[in-house]
Amino acid sequence: MNKFFLLIAFIALHSAYTLSAQNKVMPNFVLTKVFENDKSIWPTFTQGVVHYEAEVMYIYGDVYVTPEMPDSANHTRPTLRSTYLMPIYSQYKKNQGKINQNFDEEMYLFINIKFDPKKTYDKIWEQLSPYHEMLTYRVGPQWHEGKLKVVFVGNAPMRTFQQERVCFVAAQGTIADLDKNYDNKVMPLIGIDFENEIKWNGVGKMPYDEYKAFFDIVQKAHKQEKKVRVYNLPNSEDVWEVMHTAGVDMISGEDADAFRNFIETKQ
């Protein structure tokens, strides 16, 4: 009988430890995995994921989560609203004003528009409006600080963002944008494409002169109170180590569990 109770106690302790490990948030990780349906996001809420990137496309009057045009009009790709906005808002209401109960800061939803940016932006603006209470957005010169910051990736219409009276989204800038010094509310972070903007391929040690140039870019962004996100990088702890050492704020990837294992060694 005593062995039975010891076994039950061990299982309960192990389950509690596992749940605690899963609930540790990863504020420096952006999940870029393409969700195949509108239920795919739910398990990630307990993996510690708090930032996401969605590749979207405007098709026949709605915005769908897909990196390429489907072959048929009868496709089954999920919508941005059902895959991201509704589940995130459900978590926001469930946790009484926090999307993740263990995370008090802003969550980022990066939106990568793959086709027809004008129509896509207009439709996204329409779909974001009902969720305004959880969003960081601007009305005139006044900003409402929320729990979800929506950020456009790529050729964001900066003039539109700056001139429209109500703006629900911000822009991810480029290295070149650092010289323009946009307001960090409109452009809260700088994106760096590892494949196209970093010469080092991730094998061996990063040459010191390249590391120093990269480090200086990160520091320049931080002086403007902008975060730095690196994307299109190998799923490699050696690369993550360099990014972490250089002070990169967000690292994109598809394997949340592997990144959590890495970042726990840093803590």
pLDDT for 12 beyond 60: no
Q: Is residue 123 part of a domain?
A: yes
Average of pLDDT values for 3-21?
A: 42
Tell me, yes or no, if the pTM score tops 0.85: yes
109 occurs within a structural domain: yes
Q: Which residues of 143-173 are buried (b: 16+ CB within 10 A; e: fewer)?
A: eeebbbbbbbbeebebeebeeeeebbbbbbb
> Per residue in 224-241, pLDDT tens?
999 999 999 999 999 999
Number of domains in the chain: 1
Task: Assess whether pLDDT exceeds 60 at residue 14.
Answer: no
Report pLDDT for 265: 84
Q: What is the CATH number of the domain that holds 45?
A: 3.20.20.190
Q: What is the pLDDT of residue 144?
A: 94
Rounded Cα–Cα distance for residues 18 and 12 (Å) = 10
Is 44 within the bounds of a domain?
yes
Q: Which residue has the tokens 């009305």?
A: 139
User: What pLDDT is stored for residue 13 in this prediction?
Assistant: 40
The model's confidence at residue 127, banded by pLDDT at 50, 70 and 90, is very high
Question: Residue 19: inside a domain, yes or no?
Answer: no
Taking only the tens place, the pLDDT of each residue in 164-220 is 888 889 999 999 999 999 999 999 999 999 999 999 999 999 999 999 999 999 999
pLDDT at 18: 41
The mean pLDDT value of the chain amounts to 88
Whether residue 226 is contained in a domain is answered as yes
Is residue 248 situated within a structural domain?
Answer: yes
What's the average model confidence in pLDDT over 16-44? 81
In a domain, 11, yes or no: no
- Would you state the pLDDT for residue 155? 65
| 57-82: pLDDT as tens digits | 999 899 999 988 887 777 889 999 99
Domain enclosing residue 96, as ranges: 26-266
Burial of 19 (0-12, 13-18, 19+ CB in 10 A): exposed
Phi, psi of 205 (to 5 degrees): -85, 145
| Closest among 220, 221, 69, 63 to 152, alpha carbons compared | 63
